[in-house]
Amino acid sequence: MNVFLIVVDSLRLDFAGELLSGLKRRGFRVYERAVAASNWTIPSFGSMLTGLYPSLHGGHEEGDRVFPVRWGDMVSCRLGELGFHPVVLTENLLLSPAYGFKCFEVWEYFNWWFFVFKLSREEYGRAIGEFVRNGNNAVRAGLSLLRQGRLGLLSKLFVNYLAYRAVALRRGPVDRCSRCIIRDVTKIKTPAFVVVNFMEAHEPYTYTELGTPYLPTYDFVEMFREGRAPRELVDLWRRWYPRAVGLASRRVFELLDVLEDGGLLDDSLVVVASDHGQLLGEFGLVGHLALLSDELVRVPLAVRFPSGVEVVGGGGSGWVSNTAVKRLVLEVARGVRRFDEGVLYSDVVFSETFGLGFTSWPRVCRDGGCRLLPKRRVAVYKGDFKLVYNVTDGVVEEVRGYGGRPDGDVAGDLLREVFGFLKVAEGLQFSPEGL
């Protein structure tokens, strides 16, 4: 058998209806109360692969730094010991050994389809780094590369820029290299544990957006300084995000068709998930930083079990944390013939963020723009209720119910759960030998 973990980056639950409906028709079981362990890639992926929350596996942001996944037993390593070939096919630079994702062979697809010259990881990282360090100014970044004697890289970037200008009038949504992934997936040696990361639902959403100062991947400084994203950017994202999600959903279905045509689908465990959601103007913001609102941490999750595996338990009650993905994968990969899906559910689940850390952020704080970040936050889901606690400021930021009205007793109970979580996190996060 094989295991496929297909992650559609930045897909929030309330926009995943088309995808989930199509997956149900293909025999997937859908878990509608799934919660991501964090609001961005490294900590959330780390939780799926280690089964631990970010404060326990160590892969998260803090201050102006980003730490790799440092602790815990990664499922890719365990599956490798069982004879599986772990491979990650990704359009995302963050899914690499440099950020703690171990025991994988990494196939990278971060070059845009229109690039004339394909860039290496080192070249791509240097180009982005110079762009950020020079205030998102391409001319200054180019001059900096020239002073460093990086004429070869500068030439590649210039030709690729001309190629970009030739396609910039295309409307969108932006098509990355997901079809390259679909083409290559059947080349992997089996039995395999394959992680696929599709980025079509992640910004930028139009080709023209690639050339604007509002490319949020590189610069959230102005948005957090002003406390509000530019209205034209919010309108752009709200218009194009549903189309980008539609494109990403089609790519998932195309991949499933390829697996079926290759005889790989029926005997495989296939998990379709998202690592986090996306803000589209809620709270005046765009992107996936700082907060733990439902738009950011309520995510789609669907599972297709291999033929011959009987799913028992009739579904569970409560919530499903994406930390449960590791247990699901290991149990099925070990050849279990009866799977109790009740083990995926928990009465209480958490999500957490530390306030995303990039080098430009101290600039925001120095100018008084730290109202939202960097702030340590923890969200708890229990029963039909949710609470978000701002650890840094010591305040409850949100209490909400799903079918019921939260009262003081509910809020107090949820807050006790948060304090218990923090006690465990603070006690264990620097003791990897105990995990």
User: Which strands sit side by side in the sheet containing 3-8, from one edge to the other?
Assistant: 29-30, 301-304, 269-273, 3-8, 192-198, 85-90, 105-108
Q: Are residues 135 and 85 in the same domain?
A: no
| Last residue of one domain, picked from the residues 148, 172, 196 | 172
Tell whether 289 and 157 lie within a shared domain. no
pLDDT at 2: 97
Name the region of 136 (left: φ>0; alpha: ψ -120 to 50; beta: rest): left
Distance spanning both ends of the chain, measured CA to CA:
29
Q: Are residues 362 and 246 in the same domain?
A: yes
CATH of the domain at 361: 3.40.720.10
Domain identity same for 412 and 275: yes
**Residue 212: its pLDDT value, please?**
47
- Give the residue among 52, 195, 170, 49 at the shortest CA–CA distance from 112: 170
Contact 203, 10 (CB under 8 A): yes
Residue 181: what pLDDT? 93
C-alpha–C-alpha distance, residues 48 and 51, integer Å: 6
pLDDT in tens, 381-397: 999 999 999 998 899 99
**Residue found by looking up tokens 């923890």 in the block:** 378
Helices 151-167 and 121-133: crossing angle, nearest 10°? 80
State residue 384's pLDDT score: 93
Q: 152 and 292 share a domain? A: no
| Residue 309 contacts residue 333 (beta carbons within 8 Å) | no
pLDDT score at 136: 58
Q: Which residue has the tokens 């070939």?
A: 85
**412 and 334 part of one domain:** yes
CA distance 329 to 249: 22
- Examine the domain organization and report whether 353 and 390 are in the same domain: yes
Based on the domain organization, do 123 and 61 belong to the same domain? no
Residues 167 and 203 in one domain: no
Dist CA 399 CA 409 (whole Å):
12
Q: Which of 122, 138, 172 is the last residue of a domain?
A: 172
Overall number of domains in the chain: 2
The stretches in the chain having pLDDT less than 70 are: 63-64, 111, 113, 132, 135-136, 167-172, 208-227, 315-316, 356-374, 428-435
- Select from 393, 15, 385 the least CA-distant residue to 205: 15
Q: Which of 172, 187, 212 is the last residue of a domain?
A: 172
Give phi and psi for 30, each to the nearest 5: -105, 135
User: Are 385 and 414 in contact, with CB atoms under 8 Å apart?
Assistant: yes
How many angstroms separate the CA atoms of 43 and 59, rounded? 5
Q: Say if residue 166 is in the same domain as residue 305.
A: no
**Global pTM?**
0.88
Burial of residue 40 (CB within 10 Å: 0-12, 13-18, 19+) is buried
> Which residue range(s) make up the domain with 146?
114-172
Give the residue carrying structure tokens 């300084």. Answer: 225
Residue 428 is predicted with a pLDDT of: 52
The rounded distance, in Å, linking the Cα atoms of 137 and 212 is 11
CA atoms within 13 Å, Cβ hemisphere of 96:
12
